[in-house]
């Protein structure tokens, strides 16, 4: 009985951990992010120097009217995330 309980607990823990992992970005998403990093490097330094990660992306989007054409183009190719309903 103890062995069954232990196996059940291990299974529940494994399922919980598997669900907690965010899915890996697709190769297309990785390529789009790399294009943004390259195309927006100067704009990011100019307008969002104190930001990292998601905050930097949000900052770039908030300053879209000031960005270089290459940066705007790269940002436009990023898939937009839709919040869960």
pLDDT in tens, 13-70: 667 655 656 788 889 889 998 999 999 999 999 999 999 988 999 999 999 999 999 9
Q: And the tokens for 8? A: 């059940």
Whether pTM > 0.85 for this model: the answer is no
Range of the domain at 68: 27-78
36 near 76, Cβ under 8 Å? no
Looking at the domain assignment, is residue 35 inside a domain? yes
Looking at the domain assignment, is residue 72 inside a domain? yes
Looking at the domain assignment, is residue 32 inside a domain? yes
Tell me how crowded residue 71 is: count the other CB atoms within 10 A of its CB: 23
Looking at the domain assignment, is residue 84 inside a domain? no
Looking at the domain assignment, is residue 64 inside a domain? yes
Strand (E) positions, the chain?
A: none
Q: How many domains does the chain have?
A: 1
* Secondary structure letter of residue 67 according to DSSP: S
Looking at the domain assignment, is residue 13 inside a domain? no
């Amino acid at each position: 009985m103890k062995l069954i309980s232990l196996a059940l607990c291990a299974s529940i823990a494994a399922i919980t951990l598997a669900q907690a992992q965010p899915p890996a970005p697709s190769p297309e998403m990785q390529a789009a992010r790399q294009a943004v990093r390259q195309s927006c490097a100067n704009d990011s330094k100019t307008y969002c120097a104190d930001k990292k990660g998601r905050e930097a992306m949000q900052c770039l989007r908030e300053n879209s009217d000031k960005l270089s054409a290459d940066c705007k183009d790269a940002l436009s190719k990023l898939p937009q995330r839709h919040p869960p309903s």
